[in-house]
Amino acid sequence: SQELEQSPQSLIVQEGKNLTINCTSSKTLYGLYWYKQKYGEGLIFLMMLQKGGEEKSHEKITAKLDEKKQQSSLHITASQPSHAGIYLCGAANTGNQFYFGTGTSLTVIP
Partner 1 sequence: DVKVTQSSRYLVKRTGEKVFLECVQDMDHENMFWYRQDPGLGLRLIYFSYDVKMKEKGDIPEGYSVSREKKERFSLILESASTNQTSMYLCASSRGQFTAFFGQGTRLTVV
CA pair distance 82, 94, nearest whole angstrom: 35
Footprint (CB under 8 A) of partner 1, residues 50-109: 88, 90, 92, 95-103
Tell me the window of 12-20, 27-35, 63-71, 73-81 that interacts with partner 1 (CB under 8 A): 27-35
DSSP letter assigned to residue 94: T
Minimum Å distance from CB 20 to partner 1? 20
**CA 27 – CA 44 distance, rounded (Å):** 25
| Tally of CB atoms within 10 A around 17 | 13
Task: Tell whether residue 24 is a contact of partner 1 (CB under 8 A).
Answer: no
Under DSSP, the state recorded for 26 is S
Binding footprint of partner 1 on the chain (CB under 8 A): 30-31, 33, 35, 40-45, 48, 88, 90, 92, 95-103
